[in-house]
Structure 1
């Protein structure tokens, strides 16, 4: 529970940081537009100068009379003056719109345009969509500014994984494992970023982030974990156990290479790659720290219900590292990982944690 609270605090801090970044992007966009406004006069004057030079060259070559050249120069000067007026008006309007709505208007117009492009309103899970437990977390929705990049190479997702965990025990097959196959489970939650590796292809992506892992093991029979003389092993409990569960919590940094096709959507102001209904395959590993281990025992003693929660002291590995892979369609993936570090340090019989289940990239 304490680990989950720490994660939620981190998530709040992270969202606040994202909001500050959005505000900075809004101010940066205003500065860029004002700088462009100053350049308009210089650009049009230079263009007019180049036109006049060409007209004079035609006069020297005998192609134009002095009267014709004067008329062309006046027309060019009038056109460039109108260009300055129109271009600055466009920039002034965009600056006014951004300042009045703090960037909301531009992002909303873009989002509504995407909505209309799709036959069903929105065409599935686009890369620019952002939803957390069904709640829209796009910055424009909450009044934050979001400056649309023409080509985004990095996207992010909330990652949730759950399923069955167990241990690869030296000398035993998985069927001979001393832990219940269906009763031992894991849960994982974290945040991941996905960056396109190549400039003009989204087939290969670099996937990285951080995750909290909660790995559970339920011993078979009436056994529980005991540490004696630096060795952690399963032993018979003195009373009939209603429940025996061991859990190890980790904070890890997963790193994967991901391959698979994607749909590209090109419009006048942006390029986006979508993984909607597309095959994905990722392979890589992870490394991190063991945050703690605990054991929960439930039993009856003299007719009374007893519940023991025993923390620490199980000689678990401090450093966590292993291999992982996933495969699936869109954000629904089959997921497998294997710890290369032993569960218990200096154990006579080495055991390695493994997990298999479902992963959701939201």
Structure 2
């Protein structure tokens, strides 16, 4: 379980880092190179100034003649100029590569950003590049499949045969669920953006807090709620599940058209979205947490076991929302406790975030 959490977090950080890097524009990266050239020039000039002042001091102290001092000044000025030329050449090579990346469509370009200052002057050839690049049709790389990090949270409870949620054995506001995972979104139709297959891997945490100072007690193949012999400040049953979700997603994000009108391409998670489907997997672990006071001491117990919970879980789920945020609902078709005389099915309602 810890390995699953670790690798999922690493994938998420990598995904976010890559997205941020791709968003940096041509103008921003060119400005960074320009600032570096200015810093190189400034540092070399300051160093030259200090060296000249040191030579002038030697003249005043009579250590060297003015003629020798002039020769030394010329020599160090030539050395500093060579340093500037060498270091600036490296930065200009970076700029040339940046321009090539822009031509190849690897770097975002903002047409309104027309000035890039390099070393106190406008870089020669930049205006020509800007004119050429704006006149050249932009090429769009079409991705039929994208990935998202999913996080969901909300209220959790159970539906019991013959009862309703108003008479639930569990606190409505105190029972929660959490879910996080990685999903992939594949456009089904080549030339239409409506239908998508959404699939991936998720970890679900379903928490139930009983009412009326009760806790779960396992009696053979039955697991039932019983009143505790002492006052509980906390009573919670948590089930952790690893599932494979699958949804048919209707994405109403309109198609995009390039500025020159020659290309049509598609985006996702920018308009109304509806997902219908389900999930299947297995229960990783069950744990009951109770807190109470005994003889003035605070006691916290953690009881791990299967509690007769279903080993395999499967259910229906759906969501409706706009952009990356949706109203989310899921329902376990398997009973919470596999052998109880009365079936109870877990149900969750909350918010879902698909970070594209």
Q: Which residue of 2 aligns with 1:199?
A: 190
1:312 and 2:305 are equivalent in the alignment? yes
1:165 to 135, 152, 156: 156
In the alignment, structure 1 residue 105 sits paired with structure 2 residue 96: no
1:112 match: secondary structure: coil
- Residue 281 of structure 2 is aligned with which of 277, 288, 298? 288
Q: Is the 8 A contact 1:151 1:271 kept in 2?
A: no
Instruction: Tell me the SS of whatever aligns to 2:10.
Output: helix
The answer to whether residue 326 in structure 2 is matched with residue 354 in structure 1 is: no
The answer as to whether partners of 2:8 and 2:181 remain within 8 angstroms in 1 is: no
Partner Cα separation in structure 2 for residue 352 and residue 265 of structure 1:
43
In structure 2, the CA distance between the partners of 1:236 and 1:163, relative to structure 1 (3 Å rule), is same
CA distance in 2, matches of 1:108, 1:161: 39
Deviations 1:7-48 (A, max 9, x none): 12344379889x9xxxxxxxxxxxxxxxxxxxxxxxxxxxxx
For these two proteins, the number of residue pairs brought into alignment is 253
Inter-partner Cα distance in structure 2 for 1:322 and 1:334? 17
| CA–CA separation in structure 1 for the residues paired with 2:324 and 2:14 | 26
Pairs within 5 Å for 1:330-349: 330-349=323-342
Deviations 1:36-91 (A, max 9, x none): xxxxxxxxxxxxxxxxxxxxxxxxxxxxxxxxxxxxxxxxxxxxxxxxxxxxxxxx
CA root-mean-square deviation: 3.1
1:188 pairs with 173, 179, 191, which one? 179
Q: Mark the structure with the bigger radius of gyration.
A: 2
* Structure 2 match to 1:42: none
Q: CA deviation at 1:108?
A: 9.1
SS of 2:158's partner is strand
Query: 5 Å matches for 1:1-362?
Result: 3=1, 6-12=4-10, 105=101, 110-113=106-109, 116=111, 150-267=141-258, 271-275=264-268, 277-362=270-355
Deviation, 1:229, is 1.4
Change over 3 Å in CA distance of 1:229–1:197 after alignment to 2: same
Gaps of 5+ in 1: 20-95, 119-147
Q: Report how far residue 276 of structure 1 moved.
A: 5.2
* Distance in 2 between residues matched to 1:10 and 1:259, nearest whole Å: 26
Q: Do the aligned residues in 1 keep the contact of 2:102 with 2:108 (CA within 8 Å)?
A: no
Task: Report the alpha carbon displacement of residue 264 of structure 1 after superposing the two structures with TM.
Answer: 2.0
Q: Which runs of 5+ in 2 are unaligned?
A: 18-92, 114-138
Q: Judging changes above 3 Å, is the alpha-carbon distance between structure 1 residues 4 and 170 closer, same or farther for their aligned structure 2 residues?
A: farther
Q: Is the 8 A contact 2:177 2:205 kept in 1?
A: yes
TM-score, normalised to structure 2, is 0.64
**Is the CA contact (8 Å cut-off) linking 2:140 and 2:265 kept in structure 1?**
no
**CA shift at 1:204, angstroms?**
0.9
CA distance in 2, matches of 1:295, 1:282: 33
Distance 1:246 1:276, change over 3 A: closer
In 2: Cα distance, 1:322 partner to 1:221 partner = 29
Q: Distance in 1 between matches of 2:246 and 2:264?
A: 26
Maintained 8 Å contact 1:248/1:292: yes
* TM-score, normalised with respect to structure 1: 0.63
Give the Å deviation of 1:271. 4.9
